[in-house]
C-alpha cells in the first residue's frame, strides 16, 4: 500500500489494469443492445477514378440485410453543404464518405451495408460489385517531388519553419568540415490493436449515446453534431477504453460518420467496425525526402545547418508537420536555413503518428550529425555535447528547462559508451559485427486548455472528472494519484470519471499534453476544494484554523490541519456537516500561459544509445541493447512513464528496421495492408531496453511541473539505430526502413 500523502511520483500500477487484462474493459465495439444493427464497409479497389456503377442486388438478397448505402442513395447530411472541418483538420477539404462517385485513394469507403447481424453485413458486403472508371494514380513521392510546394495555409498548431538566420550558404562553403546527405523515409501506418469502431445507441432522432474509438470524446461529439445538425447537449460520446491510438484517433474517422448516418436514417442502434485493411487505407505517417547539410569548424563547432524536407500529402488536404524546425534549435548554430514543402499523392490524407514531424526530421538531423562526427573524426556524443545550447535560436526564446546534459551523462554511463572503439567494423561478438550509435531526441512540452472538477465527499471518497482520454498512457492512474495525494486518501478511494463528452472540457489526448494539462486542472480544482473547506471551517464557531490561508493548511488523515505535524485542525466530515453538506465540488482550469510563452518555450529531451549486432552473411540486424535517458520534468508515475518510453523505443526500432508502407505505384494500392505483411517489431526483435528519467525541475512548463511523455520516447531512436548500423558495418544507410535487402 502506498502512502497517500506522497503517492504522486510512485510507480503505482494502472488502476484500469485489472479490467483490461481480465477482458472486462468494454471497448467501443463491445457495447451491445438487443436489436442493434451492424455495418460493413466496402472499400474501393482503385486509387483514383470514378465509380461507374454499384450493383447491390446480390447483397440485398442476403437474409438480414436492412439497407445498403452508396453515394447515390445516402441521406442528406448538413455537412455536405458546409465548410465545417474537424478540430484537427489540416487546410483543405476533408474527405466525406459516400459524398460522390469520385475515388481519391485506395481503400476509400464506397458502400455501407447494414444488416441484422455482423455476419450478414460482411457476407453482403463481399457480394457488392463496383464498376470503376480507373485513372492512373500517382503515389510515388520520388515522382511527384518536383511538384513540391510550400503550403500556403498553415495547419493550425503547426509552426512553419523559421526564417533563415545568418549566412548559411557562405558559412557552409567556407567551413573546415562539411557533409550533405539525402534521407528517405517510406510511409508508415499506425496499427493499434483496437480497430476503429463506433457503437451508436439510438434513443431518438435527436438523442444518441455513442461509444467511439477516439482520442477525444468531445471532438467526436462536435464532429457529429456539426455534420448532422444535432444539439451537443443531446449527444453523449464515450471512449472509456482505447486500445492504442498513436495519433490515428485524433481525427474522427469514417466509421463514426457512417454509423451515425445509418442510425439516424434507420432509427435504430448501429455498430460499425473497420477492418484491419481499412485501418491502413485511412491514414499514415507521410513518406518524406530530406536533405541535411551540416558544416563545422576545425574544433567541431557547428557553422551551418541546412535542412530541407518534402513530405507527402493528399490531393485534398495540406497535411503538415513540424519536420525541419528541430534542426534550428537542437544545437548552437548562428547560420541556419530550414525549408519545408509538400507534394501531393493519390492517397488518403496523412495523419499524426507518434511524435509527428520530430520522428521524421530528427531522424535526418541526427543521422547527419553522426555523419559529421565521422567526417571530423570526433566522438558523436562529444560533438553533441560541444554544440549544446540552452536557448531556442529559432524563436529567440528561453527554455523552461533542458536537462539534456544529464541525459547524455547518465545514458552514456548506463550504456558504457566510454568503452566504444571509434572505428567502424572494429567491434565484434563472434561472427557478429557490433555497432554502437547514439542520437538526441526532442519533442515539444505543451499544454492544451483543460478543465476538471474535483469532489470530496463526507465519506472520504474523492471524484476527479474531466473529458480526458486514456489511450493506454495511464491517464486514469495519474489523475487518481493526484486526487489521492491532494486529500491524503488511498488511491482506491478516488473515482476517476473521464472519457465522456459531458464532463469538463479538455482537448484530444495528443501532443503529449494530457498529464500536464488535465493533471494541472485536477490539482487546481483540488486546491479549490481545500480552500472552500477552509472557508467553511473558518465559519465554524471557535474554529482553530483562525485566519489561516489555504497555503498554510494541509489535509492529513481526514482532517484539515495547520501543518503536517500539527494536531490543530478539524475533521473534514465535521466541516461538511457544519454546512449540512454531503460533499463539496470545485472546478479547475489550466492551459498555456500566453504571457510566459512570449519569452519561454518548453521541450522534452532524450539521449538514446543503441547497440546492434549484425550477421554479415545473413544481413540480420538485431538491436541488442537500448538505453534511453529522458528529461521530461516531473514524473508523476515512473511505471506508466517507463511504459510510454518503452513503447516509443519499440516503435522507433520499427521505424528504423521494419515499418514500411508498400505501395504498388502502378495501381496506387497498398500491398501490405495487414499485420502479416506490414512488419512491426515482435517480441523476438526486442532485447534489453533501459529507461532513465533524469532529474529535471521545471516550474514553468506546467503548473504541476510535468512536461509530458507520450512522444519523446520514439524521437531519435531510429537515427541511433542507423548510426549503430554504420558503426557496425562502415556503410551509411539513408533509406528507411533499413531492411535486410539493403544491408546485403
Alpha-carbon distances, residue 625 vs 121, 239, 440, 721 (angstroms): 47, 36, 16, 10
Which among 57-65, 351-359, 393-401, 576-584 is the span making contact with ligand MOS, rule CB under 6 A? Answer: 351-359
β-bridge mates for residue 435, sequence order: 612
**Total residues interacting with ligand MOS, rule: CB under 6 A:** 9
Whose Cβ is closer to ligand MOS: residue 310's or residue 508's?
Answer: 508
Alpha helices, DSSP H, located in 439-560: 475-487, 514-539
Q: What are the cell numbers at 274?
A: 473497420
SS3 at position 261:
helix
Whose Cβ is closer to ligand MOS: residue 247's or residue 681's?
Answer: 247
> Which residues have C-beta within 8 Å of that of residue 173, sequence separation ≥ 6?
none
Whose Cβ is closer to ligand MOS: residue 90's or residue 588's?
Answer: 90
Q: Which residue is nearest to ligand MOS (CB)?
A: 247
Whose Cβ is closer to ligand MOS: residue 368's or residue 715's?
Answer: 715
> Which residues have C-beta within 8 Å of that of residue 70, sequence separation ≥ 6?
51, 54, 56, 98, 110, 111
Site for ligand MOS in 463-522 (CB under 6 A): 510-511
Whose Cβ is closer to ligand MOS: residue 254's or residue 285's?
Answer: 285
Alpha helices, DSSP H, located in 589-693: 594-597, 638-657
Minimum distance from CB of 252 to ligand MOS (Å)?
Answer: 14
β-bridge mates for residue 600, sequence order: 398
Q: Pick the catalytic residue from 188, 278, 611, 711.
A: 711
Minimum distance from CB of 513 to ligand MOS (Å)?
Answer: 8
Minimum distance from CB of 155 to ligand MOS (Å)?
Answer: 13
Instruction: List the Cα angle 496/497/503 in 5-degree steps.
Output: 145
Minimum distance from CB of 54 to ligand MOS (Å)?
Answer: 35
Minimum distance from CB of 250 to ligand MOS (Å)?
Answer: 5
449 contacts 517 by C-beta, under 8 angstroms: yes
- Among 86, 123, 186, 352, interactor with ligand MOS by CB under 6 A: 352
Q: Of 43, 99, 94, 51, nearest to 73 (Cα)? A: 99
Site for ligand MOS in 557-576 (CB under 6 A): none
Site string for ligand MOS, 162-191 (x = CB under 6 A): ------------------------------
Which among 35-43, 49-57, 352-360, 695-703 is the span making contact with ligand MOS, rule CB under 6 A? Answer: 352-360
The continuous run of DSSP H or E covering 246 comes out as: none
Which among 15-23, 349-357, 406-414, 450-458 is the span making contact with ligand MOS, rule CB under 6 A? Answer: 349-357
Site for ligand MOS in 644-663 (CB under 6 A): none
Site string for ligand MOS, 238-257 (x = CB under 6 A): ---------x--x-------
Q: Answer yes or no: 711 catalytic.
A: yes
Alpha-carbon distances, residue 344 vs 43, 155, 358, 717, 719 (angstroms): 22, 16, 21, 28, 26
361 contacts 310 by C-beta, under 8 angstroms: no
Minimum distance from CB of 511 to ligand MOS (Å)?
Answer: 4
Question: Distance between CA atoms of 218 and 201, rounded to whole angstroms?
Answer: 17
Whose Cβ is closer to ligand MOS: residue 158's or residue 568's?
Answer: 158
Whose Cβ is closer to ligand MOS: residue 300's or residue 356's?
Answer: 356
Question: Distance between CA atoms of 718 and 576, rounded to whole angstroms?
Answer: 56
SS3 at position 596:
helix
Alpha helices, DSSP H, located in 594-686: 594-597, 638-657
353 touches ligand MOS by CB under 6 A: yes
Whose Cβ is closer to ligand MOS: residue 77's or residue 250's?
Answer: 250
Q: Of 633, 636, 631, 612, nearest to 622 (Cα)? A: 612
Question: Distance between CA atoms of 507 and 680, rounded to whole angstroms?
Answer: 30
DSSP 8-state assignment for residue 536 = H
Question: Distance between CA atoms of 526 and 489, rounded to whole angstroms?
Answer: 13
Minimum distance from CB of 381 to ligand MOS (Å)?
Answer: 29
Minimum distance from CB of 509 to ligand MOS (Å)?
Answer: 7
Q: What are the cell numbers at 388?
A: 549544446
β-bridge mates for residue 311, sequence order: 288, 342
Polymer length in residues for the chain:
744
Which among 224-232, 294-302, 346-354, 557-565 is the span making contact with ligand MOS, rule CB under 6 A? Answer: 346-354
Site string for ligand MOS, 60-99 (x = CB under 6 A): ----------------------------------------
DSSP 8-state assignment for residue 6 = G
Which among 105-113, 350-358, 609-617, 658-666 is the span making contact with ligand MOS, rule CB under 6 A? Answer: 350-358
Which residues form the catalytic set? 711
Residues that bind ligand MOS (CB under 6 A): 215, 247, 250, 352-354, 356, 510-511
Amino acid at each position: 500500500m502506498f502512502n497517500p500523502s506522497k503517492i504522486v511520483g510512485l510507480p503505482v500500477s494502472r488502476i484500469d489494469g485489472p479490467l483490461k487484462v481480465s477482458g472486462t474493459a468494454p471497448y467501443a465495439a463491445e457495447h451491445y443492445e438487443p436489436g442493434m444493427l451492424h455495418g460493413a464497409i466496402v472499400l474501393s479497389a482503385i486509387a483514383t477514378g470514378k465509380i461507374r456503377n454499384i450493383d447491390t442486388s446480390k447483397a440485398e438478397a442476403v437474409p438480414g440485410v436492412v439497407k445498403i448505402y452508396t453515394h447515390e442513395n445516402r441521406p442528406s447530411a448538413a455537412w455536405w453543404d458546409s465548410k465545417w472541418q474537424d478540430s484537427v483538420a489540416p487546410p483543405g477539404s476533408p474527405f466525406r464518405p459516400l459524398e460522390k462517385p469520385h475515388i481519391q485513394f485506395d481503400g476509400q469507403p464506397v458502400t455501407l451495408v447494414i444488416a441484422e447481424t455482423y455476419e450478414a453485413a460482411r457476407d453482403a458486403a463481399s457480394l457488392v460489385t463496383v464498376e470503376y472508371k480507373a485513372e492512373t494514380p500517382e503515389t510515388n513521392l520520388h515522382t511527384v517531388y518536383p511538384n513540391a510546394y510550400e503550403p500556403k495555409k498553415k495547419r493550425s498548431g503547426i509552426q512553419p519553419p523559421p526564417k533563415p538566420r545568418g549566412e548559411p550558404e557562405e558559412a557552409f562553403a567556407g567551413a573546415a568540415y562539411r557533409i550533405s546527405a539525402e534521407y528517405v523515409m517510406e510511409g508508415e501506418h499506425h496499427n493499434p490493436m483496437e480497430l476503429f469502431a463506433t457503437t451508436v445507441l439510438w434513443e431518438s432522432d435527436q438523442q444518441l449515446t455513442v461509444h467511439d474509438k477516439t482520442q477525444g470524446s468531445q471532438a467526436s461529439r462536435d464532429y457529429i453534431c456539426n455534420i448532422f445538425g444535432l444539439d451537443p447537449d443531446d449527444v453523449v460520446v464515450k471512449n472509456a477504453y482505447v486500445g492504442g491510438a498513436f495519433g490515428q484517433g485524433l481525427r474522427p474517422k469514417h466509421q463514426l460518420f457512417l454509423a451515425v448516418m445509418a442510425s439516424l436514417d434507420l432509427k435504430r442502434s448501429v455498430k460499425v467496425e473497420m477492418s484491419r485493411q481499412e485501418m491502413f487505407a485511412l491514414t499514415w505517417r507521410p513518406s518524406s525526402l530530406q536533405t541535411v547539410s551540416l558544416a563545422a569548424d576545425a574544433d567541431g563547432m557547428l557553422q551551418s545547418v541546412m535542412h530541407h524536407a518534402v513530405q507527402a500529402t493528399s490531393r485534398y488536404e495540406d497535411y503538415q508537420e513540424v519536420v525541419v524546425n528541430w534542426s534550428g534549435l537542437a544545437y548552437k548554430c548562428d547560420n541556419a536555413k530550414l525549408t519545408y514543402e509538400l507534394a501531393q499523392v493519390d492517397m488518403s490524407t496523412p495523419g499524426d503518428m507518434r511524435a509527428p514531424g520530430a520522428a521524421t526530421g530528427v531522424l535526418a538531423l541526427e543521422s547527419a550529425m553522426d555523419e559529421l562526427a565521422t567526417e571530423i573524426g570526433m566522438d558523436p556524443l562529444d560533438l553533441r555535447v560541444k554544440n549544446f545550447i540552452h536557448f531556442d535560436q529559432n524563436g529567440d526564446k528561453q527554455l523552461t528547462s533542458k536537462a539534456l546534459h544529464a541525459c547524455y551523462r547518465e545514458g552514456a554511463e548506463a550504456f558504457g559508451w566510454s568503452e566504444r572503439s571509434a572505428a567502424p567494423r572494429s567491434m565484434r561478438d563472434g561472427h557478429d559485427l557490433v555497432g554502437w550509435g547514439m542520437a538526441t531526441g526532442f519533442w515539444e512540452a505543451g499544454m492544451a486548455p483543460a478543465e476538471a472538477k474535483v469532489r470530496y465527499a463526507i465519506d472520504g471518497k474523492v471524484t476527479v472528472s474531466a473529458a480526458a482520454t486514456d489511450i493506454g498512457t495511464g491517464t486514469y492512474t495519474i489523475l487518481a494519484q493526484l486526487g489521492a495525494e491532494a486529500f491524503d486518501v488511498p488511491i482506491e478511494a478516488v473515482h476517476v470519471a473521464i472519457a465522456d463528452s459531458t464532463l469538463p472540457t479538455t482537448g484530444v489526448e495528443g501532443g503529449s499534453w494530457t498529464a500536464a494539462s488535465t493533471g494541472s486542472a485536477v490539482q487546481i480544482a483540488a486546491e479549490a476544494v481545500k480552500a472552500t473547506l477552509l472557508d467553511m471551517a473558518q465559519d465554524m464557531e471557535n474554529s482553530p484554523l483562525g485566519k489561516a490561508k489555504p497555503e498554510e493548511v494541509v489535509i492529513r488523515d481526514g482532517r484539515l490541519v495547520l501543518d503536517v505535524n500539527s494536531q490543530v485542525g478539524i475533521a473534514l466530515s465535521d466541516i461538511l456537516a457544519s454546512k449540512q453538506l454531503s460533499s463539496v465540488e470545485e472546478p479547475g482550469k489550466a492551459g498555456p500561459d500566453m504571457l510566459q510563452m512570449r519569452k519561454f518555450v518548453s521541450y522534452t529531451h532524450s539521449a538514446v544509445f543503441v547497440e546492434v549486432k549484425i550477421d554479415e552473411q545473413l544481413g540480420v540486424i538485431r538491436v541488442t541493447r537500448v538505453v534511453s535517458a529522458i528529461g521530461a520534468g516531473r514524473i508523476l508515475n515512473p511505471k506508466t512513464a517507463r511504459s510510454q518510453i518503452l513503447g516509443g523505443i519499440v516503435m522507433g526500432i520499427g521505424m528504423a528496421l521494419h515499418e514500411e508502407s508498400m505501395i504498388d505505384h502502378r495501381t496506387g494500392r497498398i500491398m501490405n495492408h495487414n499485420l502479416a505483411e506490414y512488419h512491426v517489431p515482435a517480441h523476438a526483435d526486442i532485447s534489453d531496453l533501459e529507461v532513465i528519467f533524469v532529474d529535471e525541475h521545471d516550474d514553468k512548463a506546467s503548473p504541476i511541473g510535468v512536461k509530458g511523455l507520450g512522444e519523446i520516447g520514439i524521437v531519435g531512436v531510429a537515427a541511433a539505430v542507423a548510426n549503430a548500423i554504420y558503426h557496425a558495418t562502415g556503410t551509411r544507410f539513408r533509406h528507411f526502413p533499413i531492411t535486410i535487402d539493403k544491408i546485403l
